Amino acid sequence: MTLKHCISKASPFGHGLLALPLALVLVVQPGYGEPVMARAASVYTIAKVKIDARADNAVIAKQRALQEGPLQALKLMFKRLAPFRAYDRLASLTPAEADEVIDGFAVRSERNSSTRYLALLDYKFSRKKLQSLLVKKGVPFFDQRSKKQVLMPVFRGTDDQSVDKKNSRNWWRAWRTIDFKHALTDTRLYQPKQGDHELWQKITNGAGQQYDILRDRYAASKFILVDAQLNSQKNRLVLRIYGEDHVGPIDYSQEIPFKDGASAKNYETVANIAFGIIEGRWREPRITGDVVAVLSAPGQLDEAASSKRLIHETVFLRVAFRGLRDWQQIKKRLQTIPGVQKMQVNSLSPRGADVRLKYPGGIERLQSQLSAYRFALDRSGKDLVLRSKR
């Protein structure tokens, strides 16, 4: 994102690394009437993006940070909406693409020295532009939030009995860096109390009924515990995710190496891995369609191309509806499907319409997206009949 796209309060550059607590700075891109944080929480906002840039002087460091930040935010947004099988496309994302799909950003906090700039930023994406970018790249996606669930991170000492207070505190702080407000799963983060640790210890020892006691304590129908246990050498951590989310029961374990010991950065990495697994459980079963290759330039395939090419094909549909109002709602919803272009109505009757449109990948790919927009597609003779799901 170029600096001309943003308006922000300039912070004074001093000597020495000084924390500058700021009120939330609202930033808007010219042409948009609302500040970034004015709307309700949306999955199309990425908050708490950490920016750290160095240069010969603080001004250049800040410029570099604000230029690199949008691409970093775009990659985080890609991971939020796209399936794991599409992650090889992350390397093909460009600063120009990030600049195109971001509406603006907000500065949560910033600090600087004579050669370094650090900031915590929120980025707001254009829903329509971002979806168009994913369609162009042949990447299916899902953007509907789950209902509320509660997550509690717990940390146990190396002797499997005691609570390691220092590392437990660092583990909790790592979870506080995650952007739950805009996550794909509506997750509330609760900090465990001493009694919660005791109940969790009983659960790990096989007393599964204690889970219901712990869940009822927080009046949470969907309750997830994320347990971390560090080995005595502090070079390996055992992660366990236990409980129930909106997909169903979960009991998942993974051992993760710590190259640099129990550092704050390592804890943040593990917390993001764990939450990525939880988000993936909600997202992956709901994404239909293959990751397909696209033409990045005439005659040139995307670097991550598969054997398929995504071509805009003409699709003919017979749309069935109950009346004029129903037709208007269906037409509006059909036009919101990412990738639908040049939609035309060839004929219109009181109960149906013949529609022609362009869609990348044609009818096969469009059909894989219809269910997410509450449509059903059936064949009646030679016609493909589109109906709204009740």
Nearest CA to 316 out of 347, 339, 351 is that of 347
* Per-residue pLDDT tens digits of the chain, which is 390 residues long: 443 334 333 332 233 333 333 333 333 333 222 333 333 458 999 999 998 888 888 889 888 888 899 999 999 999 999 999 889 889 889 999 999 999 999 999 988 888 888 889 999 999 999 998 998 888 889 999 999 999 999 988 665 545 567 788 899 999 999 999 999 999 999 999 888 988 988 888 888 889 999 999 999 999 999 999 888 787 888 999 999 999 999 999 999 888 777 788 889 999 999 999 999 999 998 887 777 765 444 444 444 444 344 567 888 899 999 888 899 889 888 888 877 888 888 888 888 999 998 887 788 778 877 887 888 888 888 788 999 887
Mark which of 126, 158, 177 sits at the end of a domain.
Answer: 126
Based on the domain organization, do 340 and 272 belong to the same domain?
Answer: no
Based on the domain organization, do 75 and 111 belong to the same domain?
Answer: yes
Decide if 354 is inside a domain.
yes
How would you classify the pairing of strands 45-54 and 116-125? Answer: antiparallel
Number of domains in the chain: 3
Decide if 334 is inside a domain.
yes
| Structure token digits, residue 170 | 């660092």
Mark which of 91, 126, 161 sits at the end of a domain.
Answer: 126
The DSSP secondary structure of 215-252, one letter per residue, reads HHHTT-SSEEEEEEEE-TTSSEEEEEEEEE-SS-EEEE
Structural domain that includes position 158: 149-286
> Cα dist. 141→34, 177, 289, 381 in Å?
26, 25, 9, 32
Based on the domain organization, do 278 and 158 belong to the same domain?
Answer: yes
Task: Supply the CATH number for residue 355's domain.
Answer: 3.30.70
Decide if 295 is inside a domain.
no
Read off the pLDDT of residues 194-219 as tens digits, 9 standing for 90 and up.
889 889 888 888 888 899 999 999 99
- Which residue pairs from 206-213 have beta carbons closer than 8 angstroms and sit at least 24 positions apart in sequence? 211/242, 211/243
**Coil, strand or helix: which one is 95?**
helix
Decide if 227 is inside a domain.
yes
Read off the pLDDT of residues 139-174 as tens digits, 9 standing for 90 and up.
889 999 999 999 999 988 665 545 567 788 899 999
